[in-house]
Amino acid sequence: MGDTVTLSVARYRPEQEAEPVFQDYEVPLRRDWVVLDALNHVKDRLDGSLAFRWSCRMGVCGSCGMMVNGEPRLTCAAFLSDHLPGPIRVEPLRFFPVIRDLVVDITSFLGKLKKVKPWIVRKEEKPISEGEYRQTPDQLDAYKQFSMCINCMLCYSACPIYGLEPSFIGPAAIALAQRYNRDSRDQGSRERLEVLSEHDGIWQCTFVGECSQVCPKNVDPAGAIQQYKLASATRWLSLLLPWGER
């Protein structure tokens, strides 16, 4: 391993450029440095004008998602040494509008998240004085995986459908809807069904499967979507049977 590696970073300043340009920086190559450490080195010591988001440095806040050599990655979890030889290409998350340099606009996702009603819906609330809703470890397992989403948006960057149709509600939003649908305390699946079976809902998904490949938290949104497709397609059957209802 040499001493340094080249980072090729996409720059975009709306006041200056009509479209992004690449700028190269030489950064130290340390065994325990990730791409984010290299970007911070650039910002601190080489070029203070580089703009990017980051916060926790440990893969739980979801701020630092970017394209590293064409793949959507959390830059706090992408070791420089895994991307040799350079130059390492760092670009803003694909398929999102770019505000500046490596910062993209995610407001559309927040709108989609709100649409799927990501909260416990109940016909009747149990009073606090009666204690917790009982939920066995198995019932917790039924939705636990989908609750691990950190909203990092890597799945949207991996989804070609989202790239072609930005109004597609998308992997993370559907996975979070499923997180509540499968929670034994929730009674809101019917309300969510309306939103999810719209034109831009689950049926836009053609199971490319890339979202689950890039998800850093193993949420498996592709699985969530296919399971939901199966559930909603067989739902009409349960409506016919007197004992079936969800």
State yes or no: cis peptide before 87, omega within 30 of 0.
yes
Minimal distance in Å, beta carbon 206 to another protein?
A: 7
Q: Give the number of other CB atoms < 10 A from CB of residue 221.
A: 28
Stretch that binds another protein, among 21-29, 147-155, 196-204, 235-243 (CB under 8 A): 147-155
Q: Beta 88-91 vs 4-11: how paired, if at all?
A: parallel
Minimal distance in Å, beta carbon 105 to another protein?
A: 6
In our burial notation (b when 16+ CB lie closer than 10 A, e otherwise), range 49-88 reads ebebebeebeeebbbbbbbbbebbbbbbebebeebeebbb
Interactions with another protein, residue window 181-240 (CB under 8 A): 183, 185-186, 206-210, 212-213, 220, 222-223, 226-227, 229-230
| Between 102 and 242, CB nearer to another protein | 102
Minimal distance in Å, beta carbon 61 to another protein?
A: 5
Amino acid at 198: E
User: How far is the C-alpha of 47 from the C-alpha of 25, rounded, in Å?
Assistant: 9
Minimal distance in Å, beta carbon 50 to another protein?
A: 8
Using CB under 8 A, count the residues that bind another protein.
93
Residue 101 binds to another protein (criterion: CB under 8 A) = yes
Q: Which of 105, 194, 238, 239 forms a contact with another protein (CB under 8 A)?
A: 105
| Between 24 and 44, CB nearer to another protein | 44
Minimal distance in Å, beta carbon 205 to another protein?
A: 11
| Between 25 and 54, CB nearer to another protein | 54
Stretch that binds another protein, among 21-29, 139-147, 195-203, 238-246 (CB under 8 A): 139-147
Minimal distance in Å, beta carbon 241 to another protein?
A: 19
Residue 153 binds to another protein (criterion: CB under 8 A) = no
| Between 108 and 242, CB nearer to another protein | 108
Q: Which of 1, 21, 22, 55 forms a contact with another protein (CB under 8 A)?
A: 55
Residue 180 binds to another protein (criterion: CB under 8 A) = yes
Interactions with another protein, residue window 117-136 (CB under 8 A): 117-120, 125-126, 128, 131-136
